Every structure is written in structure tokens, then in C-alpha cells.
Structure 1
């Protein structure tokens, strides 16, 4: 090595060896700048309300206390810890705090992904995987509990895969990570289930004489992971809660994030999927059998449910990294460690990002999307002191946050398949008779629906319903004997 090379190698290492840091910094900055997008989901508002209730009562809910249609019905919050964190941050810093918390968790997710990938792949390949993962995950990066659990998921699966690559069992030190995941989000069940296929991969590829011992250690780890998943205020109920989601049947396709992949128009998922198939065919990529099974399982999930695209995007690179390394290029040659220098760099970036966040927050007021927050309409509605209001599904979160009992809200597992489908068909007039049945069966006093919805347009023509408020977002119709329709022709 020449003297000149020795002089520049440390600087090169600082830049070239810090991909996880750069990924985290850029992801955080982009999400902060587009921060309002993190607040698009109407469920964020009821999540905060539930978290505040938990803080106020020093307990977790076991029954519904918010709607008037399901009040008292069994309901647990498997994401109680995330809700508490959101509520606490919101109490101190408002919407800015939620944006920062969600952006930080998202940045940590992709920084961790990059960190695991550069162990096996060169940084160019790792960066491509990270960019694809970000593109597929971006639509679901919202200030909701699952975002706080994403870095836990990457770390958990990353360590399991790393153990399988070494043909060893994972450290029991990972178990507290599972307990944390179980209290943050119900998706921890997926993490427990993934232990089995990864363990099988490790055992099959181990030396013949080590397989029985390794299988026993993985089995012990799996049992302890299952136990760690029950370390929540609900115990075993947390594990069983996912069944209610899966039992929603025909209701799931009606929820955007649960719909199957749609290829009627060209979307990022289709582009990435076709690109991956083309690359595999062109390069003749070969994978171990169990890794192929795991990958196909992730692809199946992503095709079946839109929300699973983020799981495929974040976890498939971890599954593929080690087998792909000999075929597309492994990590760069290691250079002398510069951890003290990196520590200074990380500290400097943290200061700069914090300062930038404060400055941007002063210039820009973060707020939820107004299309899901009928602020003025609800203010008018509360003046009427009504107890039974038929509302649009997306308005349920804002109603809960405003102290108004909703007909329905984002806790779909609470309401069940039939109730949700009936409401959807009623509000969209796919089955108009359902609208009048629900209005009568639940003794509805007023409706709060989107101004452009089919049900709102119909009620404009129905005698006995008086339009008392309307804006670009929501319209209120009040049940009133003797009220005449506001447009021709009359429909009785």
C-alpha cells in the first residue's frame, strides 16, 4: 500500500462504510419534510385517545367504551404501548411530536436494514435493496403503531437470519425484543411464526452431527419466544387476537390496506416484482430450497394483502443477502475501524437533524388531513347533544377523539364482518335497503357522511331528513319529522 493510499483510506472508509447512517439520515429528512403525509390515516386520532385513556386509568381496555353500537363488547388493544407513546408525545409536542416519532422509527428501520445487508453484500447492492424497500413501504409509513414496530421486526428477523447463516441458534438475549414487539403491535405473531422456517433452514444446512443439538436449541428458543409474546397485560389473548382480523372474511377486501395487489395499472410493486424476476432469470440466481420457500411465502402475502408488501420489502433482502453475496458481490474489503470518528459524525448528524426539525416545525404546522377530520361539522353536531349518529367509516377516529360516540370506526375487528359489510354497502348504496334498515334499527338521530357520498346525495331527497350543515368534507342530516326534501324529486 502506498503512502497516498494509506492517507485517503480512512476518509474513504468514513464515507463508504457509513451507508446505514446515511440511509437513516436521508430517510428521516425526507419524512420530516413530507411530514403531513404521516398523518393521513384517520385511525391515528383514536389511537392517541386510547393511549391517553390508558395513561389516565393506569389500565388497558378489555371492552369497547367508545362506540354506541358495540359499547361493552369485548375488545383489547394489542398495540397499547405504541398508543401510550403516541399519546404521551402528542401531549407534550402535538402533531409535530407524532411526526418526529414516526419518522425516527422509520429511519431506524431502514438504517437497520442497511446495516444487516452490508454484512453480506457490497454497498451498491445493499443500497438498491434499501431503495426498493423504501419505495414499497412508503405508502404505509404512517403515524400508527405498526411503524414503531418496524425496526423491531427488522432486528428480530435480521438476527434470526444471521444465526441461520452461521448455522447456530439465536441468542436468548433477543427474547426481550419479542416482548417489546408484542406490546407495540399485534404483528409480533408473524415474528413468532417465522422462527420455524428459519430454524429449518439452519438445521438442514448444518453439519449432520450437529443437527439434533441445533434443532433442540431452536425449539427451546421458539418456545421461549412464544412465551415472550405473552408478556403483555393481556397474556395469551394477545396471541389469539389476530384470529379476529383473519375472521373478517369479505370485509378485508373493502379495507384499502388489506386488498389484494392490483395490477390493472402499473405500480411500484409490479415494477419491483418484474424487475426481480428479470434479474433472477438474467443472472441465473440460485437460492437454497428453504430460502426459496420463505421468499415465496412473503411474495404470496404481499400479493394477497397490500399491507404485506412492506413485509416483503423489508424482510426478503435479509433472507436473500447471504445466498446472493457469492453471485452478485460480497461486502467491500474491510478497512481499519474508525468507530470513534463515526461516533462524532453520528453526534453531529443528530444535532443537525434536531436543529433542522425545530426550524422546519416553526415554519410548517403539522396537522392531520382535513378530508378525514370534519372539524366544523363535528362542532355543529356536538351542539345538538345527540347520542346516535350514523357516520362515515373514515370519520370514526375523529369522532372518538372529539368525544362523540361513533357508529363505526377503524377498529374493524370489534365490529365484525357482517356489521362492517352492511355499513359499507349502506353508505355506498350498493344495497340501499341496508341504509334505511340501519337508520331504523339503531334509531339514528343524525348522519355525518362525506358530502360526495352516495348516501348523502340520497338523503338530500328523502322527506323526514333535514340537511343542517354541509361543507366540502362532511354533511349533517338530522332526522326531523315533517322535514321536506331539499331537491326534486321526492323519494319516500
Structure 2
């Protein structure tokens, strides 16, 4: 029997399986140093200051939900007021707003840090248990590092944690969650559906796993696969219970239908293998295929059916790198072969406890205290001075054009006094409108028609950009403010 078959369809007796679980779960004192190391890594990676443009909209929407209820139509733009809108991350937005009202932005940072720590620890533990013991750091480090590069303060971070939890349920059938898949899968997927659109990757992962196991001779109407199938079907039923009904489930498919607009969005482009994230992902893929080629016995069909589509997703879009390495991690760990860890000597264990563990805990505490003492929001990349100039000149409420990224700042700081022309909700704005906007951003000839059709009379735009340079010399426009970040133009 192959290693993969051992994991997905264990043949041991219940007593033997219970004994194996005890063996894997024993020695927590010896595992504590590695746990602290990974927790510190995830804590620091997730504790970044809050400056993501999407987060600003999520936070503002969370406050709206607490005060007025779930929005079903746009409330932020003057170009398409009242257009149908699905706030697909409403649950995460409510959490952000509750944390903000209770303790300010620092509370959100701390929760993000804790989420990062949980992801890193679970990934390391998942790899160790999938292998059956032994060191897995060379696999875990590139996998978590690639994913962590996308751990901005967005609901995507919760989606990453949900993906990892689902992989844990599937890959470790002898774990508590794995043994109760009929309950764990629906609860997890309901949370995920209401938190982030990556839930479709979760359903896709379950489908690939069941199809691969069927190909390996374990049909979905028997034993372990039956419980996963039942959990998946129950998850679909539970997922419909949300403020938007079926619309929320269809949201990712509708978004994918906006490919012409998404082509302009950086996170939907393929990874740049000259950039750090692309290099790290290439390193992980190289390690994965080396393990795949050297594995004895050969990998099961199920492993290939799961890994190849997710690797393709990673090559296709940058945003998928947050989950692709975590899905492939336990497969690679299992293919390394079981190698129980040697028990550390008492001297080594004592040195680790006395030197490494306290040092890491102090370091994590210092980082956390520093985060708590500094402003939670970092708005230096936004047109703070430019919008202040707009306000001082009495121009708030005019038909203002700014970038989609800066539109999030305007919503955060000036809505409802100022509505926006465009922001980064590419799932809501009509595709032709978005494409015209993107072409204008690049300084193409369509810029004047876009401004005239939408009766724009104030423009706040980044300095040293094509459209900014054009407006500085264009007839009919006057620059009334400029700083190191933004210029403000007013129609004559």
C-alpha cells in the first residue's frame, strides 16, 4: 500500500490508529520549540500595519453593516449609485468593525498576527503529521513564505486559514476534525463562504480529492470518502444560508466572467519570476517536483489530481499563491516517507527551553508591544494632503476622479461627504466602464472623453504619471495643488 493510500484510507485497526495518534501527539515538550518558531514567524508576518486599499473599504463597510445592515446596492460611487452589489466579505467586515470600535485599528493588527501564527503552526504540524514524523522544515519554510507574501490585512487571510483547515480535515482522517468531517466541513465552509470568495477553491479541492480517490479505487459512496461527500453536500446546503442567498455562491463565477477588466489588476496576473514572490514560488515548485520524482513508492493518482490543478492556478494568477503551496505541502511531506523524529537529549532540550523559547517569546512580545504603540493605519501612500486641499477649497462633493486605489482612501476618510468615481470593487462596476477607466489611467486618447462624459470637474492624481502629466498641460484644466504624492486639478 502506498503512503498516500495509508493516509486517505487507513487499514489499521482502531486500536492501532489510536496508538499511532498518541505517538504522534506525545512529546509536546519536544515539539514546543518548533511550534514557537513557526508561531513567531507567522505572528510577525501577519502583524503588518494597515494600509491596504481594499481593507479600507472593508472597514468602512463593516461600520455601515453594524449601523444599517447588509448592503445590497452600491453606496459609495456617484457613477453607479444604487447598482446591485454583493458585499461578499461581509462577515470579515463585521469583525473588522467590531475590533475597531472596541480597541481601534491595533486590535485588527493583533488578530491578523494571531491568524498568521495559527496558519504557520498548522502548516508545520500538518506537514509533520502527513509525513509521520521527521523534519519537514525545508518544505514548510518556502510554502509558508510564499503564502505569507500575500497576507495583507484582507479577508483573504481568513480564506488562507480556512483552506489550511480544510486540507487538515482531508489529509489527516485520524485527527479530531478529520473524524468528524460531516460536521467540520459544513461549519468551515459556511464561515468561508461568508468571509472570502476563495471558498470556491475549497469546494474545488474537495471535488478533486474525491475524484482522485475514486480513480485510486476508493469510490465516494464508501467509508471515509462517503463522510467527505456528505460533508460537502451539507456544506453546499449550509452555504446558501447567508444574506445574499445563491448570489453569494455565484459571486466567484461572476467575477471570473469579468476577465477583460481583471487583466488590468496586478493580483490577477501571472507571477513575475524575477520578483521575490515569483522566485520563492519557483523554489517551492522545484522542491515539490524533486520530491515527486524521487518518491518511493510512486505518488497516487489522487495526489496528482489535486496538486497539478492547484499548481496551474498558482502559475495563472498571483493571488492563488496564497493557497497553492499549502495544498501541495502535505502531499510533498507524505511522499518524503515516514521518518519518526529522534527524541532529543535532555541537555539539548533544556538548552532549547532556556535559550531559544524565551528569546522567541520575548521577541514576539516586543513586536506586539511595538505594534500596539504605533498608529494602526499607515496612510502615507494615499493623497492625504491632496484631499485636504480639496476640502479646504470647498470642493468636497464635486464629481471627483482619482485612482481606484485612492478611491478606497476617499471612501475611508471622506465618505459620505465625497463619493467616488471608481474604486477597486471590480466585481461591481460594469466591464466597459472599467476598461475605459484603465485606458485613461494609462494616458491614452480616451481620457478626455471619459472625463467629459462623466462631468468630472476635480481630479486628484498621482504625480509623475501619464495622465497627471497630460492634465498639467491640457487646455481647460488648472493645477491648484501639488505635493510629493498627488496633484489636484480643477476644470476651468
1:389 equivalent to 2:400? Answer yes
Which SS does the other structure have where 1:263 is aligned?
coil
Question: Is 1:223 aligned with 2:233?
Answer: yes
Specify the alignment match of 1:460 in structure 2.
Answer: 472
CA 215–106 in structure 1, closer or farther in 2 if over 3 Å, else same: closer
Match of 2:279 among 267, 275, 280: 267
| 2:189 paired with 1:174 | no
In the alignment, the residues of structure 1 paired with residue 213 and residue 62 of structure 2 have an alpha-carbon distance, to the nearest angstrom, of 40
Cα pair 1:192 1:225 within 8 Å, conserved: no
Secondary structure of the 1:467 match is strand
1:53 has 2:64 as partner? yes
Report deviation, 1:473.
1.1
Deviation at 1:164, TM superposition (A): 9.8
1:475 aligns with 2:487: yes
Equivalent of residue 44 in structure 1, options 51, 55, 63: 55
1:100 corresponding residue in structure 2: 110
| Residue 28 (structure 1) aligned to one of 43, 47, 51 | 43
CA–CA distance in 2 between the matches of 1:408 and 1:207? Answer: 50
Cα 1:109–1:349 shift into 2, 3 Å: farther
Give yes or no for the alignment of 1:427 onto 2:402: no
Higher mean displacement: 146-155 or 168-177: 168-177
Tell me which residue corresponds to 1:401. Answer: 412
1:144: how far off?
0.7
Checking the alignment, whether the CA contact within 8 Å between 1:61 and 1:75 is kept in structure 2 is yes
The equivalent residue for 1:330 is 339
Deviation of 1:368 after TM superposition, in Å, equals: 2.1
SS at match of 1:147: helix
Identify the match of residue 154 of structure 2 among 134, 144, 150. 144
Answering whether residue 200 of structure 2 is matched by residue 185 of structure 1, we say no
1:380 to 382, 389, 392: 389
- Residue 375 of structure 2 aligns to a residue whose secondary structure is coil
Shift of 1:279: 4.5
SS for the counterpart of 2:479 is: strand
SS of 2:428's equivalent? Answer: helix
TM alignment of 1:80-479, pairs within 5 A: 80-121=90-131, 125-163=135-173, 170-205=181-216, 212=222, 216-263=226-273, 267-281=279-293, 286-322=298-334, 324-326=335-337, 329-332=338-341, 355-356=365-366, 359-361=369-371, 364-371=374-381, 373-382=382-391, 383-402=394-413, 403=415, 404-429=418-443, 431-432=444-445, 434-479=446-491
Q: Note the alpha carbon deviations across 1:410-451, whole angstroms, 9 max, x for none.
A: 11111133222211110111x22x111111100001111111
Tell me how far 1:334 sits from its aligned partner: 8.4
Return the alpha-carbon distance in structure 2 between the equivalents of residues 362 and 175 of structure 1. 36
Structure 1 196/359 Cα, relative in aligned 2: closer, same or farther at 3 Å?
Answer: closer
**5+ residue gaps, structure 2:** 1-24, 345-352
How far, CA to CA, are the matches of 1:27 and 1:212 in structure 2?
Answer: 38
Q: Residues of 1 paired with 2:150 and 2:126: CA distance?
A: 22
CA spacing shift, 1:361–1:311, aligned 2, 3 Å: closer
| Cα drift, residue 153 of structure 1 | 1.7
- Over 3 Å counting, the alpha-carbon distance change for 1:435 and 1:120 in structure 2 is same
Which whole-Å CA distance do the structure 1 matches of 2:311 and 2:218 have between them?
Answer: 30
Change (3 A) 1:303 1:416: farther
Q: Does 1:19 align with 2:29?
A: no
In 2, Cα distance between equivalents of 1:41 and 1:29: 17
Change (3 A) 1:132 1:55: same
Deviations 1:205-244 (A, max 9, x none): 4678x95566554433221111122222112111111122
Query: SS at 1:475's partner residue?
Result: strand
Q: CA deviation at 1:160?
A: 1.8
Q: Which residue pairs with 1:483 in the alignment?
A: none
- Structure 1 vs Structure 2 CA RMSD: 3.2
Partner residue of 1:487? none
Residues 244 and 137 of structure 1, relative CA distance in 2, 3 Å threshold: same
- Per-residue deviation, 1:246: 0.2
1:352 CA displacement: 5.8
Could you say if the C-alpha distance between residues 200 and 477 of structure 1 is closer, same or farther in structure 2, counting changes exceeding 3 Å?
same
Deviation track 1:310-355 (CA, whole Å, cap 9, x = no partner) reads: 2111111134433x142xx4343689xxxxxxxx99x999996885
1:164–1:199 Cα contact (<8 Å) kept: no
> Within 2, Cα distance between the matches of 1:316 and 1:334?
28
Q: Which has the higher contact order (CA 8 A, sep 6+)?
A: 2
C-alpha change, 1:82 and 1:26, in structure 2 (3 Å) is same
**CA 253–286 in structure 1, closer or farther in 2 if over 3 Å, else same:** farther
Task: Rate the CA distance shift 1:75–1:13 in 2: closer, same or farther, 3 A.
Answer: closer
Asked if structure 2 preserves the Cα contact closer than 8 Å seen for 1:105 and 1:150, the reply is no
**CA distance in structure 2 between the aligned counterparts of 1:233 and 1:349, rounded to whole angstroms:** 46
State the shift of 1:42 in Å: 1.3
Aligned length: 450
